[in-house]
Structure 1
């Protein structure tokens, strides 16, 4: 498991989430600090100590946690994408020390959500958990969005695993809409809603068998997917989504629904990259 940091309060808050995940899943944690590209950024004298100081903090929070550090020259996104090839999870803050505060998600988090080789947890407003006395969410449900696609199955698997390890409820959300009016027969709203509900139930059956201890609530909601997910996850511990749904251009970018949720969610977003 890897936590990407830059010394900001937000990255320290994201590190707390990473340390909590590592302890709960009994995995070692690597803290990575990328110094930037030579010539574009002159490392400060104490830059090499950022990851070491962060490791000291992480061991203070969890004395038994096995922590290693890595300080590397290179752009943060490039360094973390490469390291993600051998990681089970990558955790970063939605924004760090650079960029434009008006933008919802920093470029590093955005690029990792698109290109990482493992699941990526993007922690929004992570500075909320930078203080050692701050309490991470523990009892809220996890929300997962699904549309029946193959990538959504990986999101469901991750969501069930997270809910099982945290002993919390899972809310599985599927949005449905009436198709555009065309010539010929068009099913009515009641039929579309019933079909969506049956499809969601069938999707969940496999994972309910694998994770019998997880209490899951299926919710089929009329509306556009991104606003529906944002509304359903207002009080969630985290949101789990696949990078893409049923349409689009492969790995060129995030799916529009995932991008909108990543941009506007207040809860951490777990992007279920493989």
Structure 2
């Protein structure tokens, strides 16, 4: 049977941060058993027109990728056109798209950080946004190996996709999985004792709901060690704090709140803006 190749695609722009994103992308390509494609968008006005004579930047990144992952099949391409539009289009045939959270060079036509946000909102496959990618660009910047994968969930259908992706990441890396659900009680005017009792009751309910939500995936991935955390507080600060000691945080593109017509939920966008670790958005 012929293998189906859906490459891991990484966008580069000449910055150290994007080179660190290449390192993460090469690592993911090996785990997914897919080739790596390094894409450089020139930001010139002719959309999706290949520029075969301007491969130097992408070629240098390919040399680094092969050094980090010997034996990995790596291809490069350089195109005219805006990077966000180009990478969204290429994501139709990819297993994963990886970008640095902020960069320069080929992505200069867009405000810093907007490429990752637009990909998280519009890509046709999962998107990994690598924060502070320059940490892994140098020869001594080994990727973290033993931290847990963190997944944020709110019980929505999009959260189910994030849970599935997070279990697959944890299983392929042989690391723990931490599942977090933030919750807040509705305001009332009871006395302190009454509010405390209600809070304890709600915490138990959230913990049980979280366990039920993850049960099918724990059965599918029995080797993955799972910690369940129901945390009182607003979703964004809870997730940012919980992610500090994680390898990456996995989220759906949006949750139960907000408007269905929006492509990217406010929680996911704010975590993308402020997380200190890579953020994996589970787009289908």
TM-score, structure 2 as length reference: 0.88
Give me the whole-angstrom Cα distance separating, in 1, the residues matched to 2:262 and 2:277.
Answer: 25
Shift of 1:47: 4.1
Shift of 1:251: 4.8
**Which residues of 2 match residues 245-256 of structure 1 at below 5 A?**
245-256=255-266
Query: Which residue does 1:168 correspond to in 2?
Result: 175
Specify whether residues 45 and 64 from structure 1 end up closer, same or farther in structure 2 by C-alpha distance, changes over 3 A only: closer
Matching residue within 123, 144, 165 for 2:130: 123
Shift of 1:46: 7.8
Query: Which residue does 1:56 correspond to in 2?
Result: 63
Query: Which residue does 1:17 correspond to in 2?
Result: 24
Give CA deviations for 1:215-270 in whole Å, capped at 9, x if unaligned: 00000011001111111111110000011000222353421111111111100000
Shift of 1:57: 1.6
**Which residues of 2 match residues 126-145 of structure 1 at below 5 A?**
126-145=133-152
SS at the partner of 2:245?
A: coil
Moved more, 162-171 or 172-181: 172-181
Matching residue within 76, 79, 82 for 1:72: 79
Query: Which residue does 2:249 correspond to in 1?
Result: 239
Matching residue within 200, 218, 224 for 1:190: 200
Give me the whole-angstrom Cα distance separating, in 2, the residues matched to 1:147 and 1:107.
Answer: 25
- Tell me, yes or no, if the aligned pair for 1:141 and 1:237 is still in contact at 8 Å: yes
Gaps of 5+ in 1: none
**Which residues of 2 match residues 90-239 of structure 1 at below 5 A?**
90-97=97-104, 106-181=113-188, 188-239=198-249
Matching residue within 262, 265, 269 for 2:272: 262
SS at the partner of 1:188?
A: helix
- Tell me, yes or no, if the aligned pair for 1:175 and 1:222 is still in contact at 8 Å: yes
Give me the whole-angstrom Cα distance separating, in 2, the residues matched to 1:180 and 1:37.
Answer: 53
- Tell me, yes or no, if the aligned pair for 1:114 and 1:251 is still in contact at 8 Å: no
Moved segments of 4+, more than 2 Å: 44-48, 249-253
Shift of 1:45: 11
Give CA deviations for 1:107-158 in whole Å, capped at 9, x if unaligned: 1111111111111000000011111221100001111000000100000000
SS at the partner of 1:135?
A: coil
Gaps of 5+ in 2: 1-7, 190-194
TM-score, structure 1 as length reference: 0.91
- Tell me, yes or no, if the aligned pair for 2:21 and 2:100 is still in contact at 8 Å: yes
Shift of 1:181: 3.5
Give me the whole-angstrom Cα distance separating, in 1, the residues matched to 2:57 and 2:18.
Answer: 11
- Tell me, yes or no, if the aligned pair for 1:141 and 1:170 is still in contact at 8 Å: yes
Give CA deviations for 1:70-112 in whole Å, capped at 9, x if unaligned: 1111000000000001111000000010689xx8x61111111
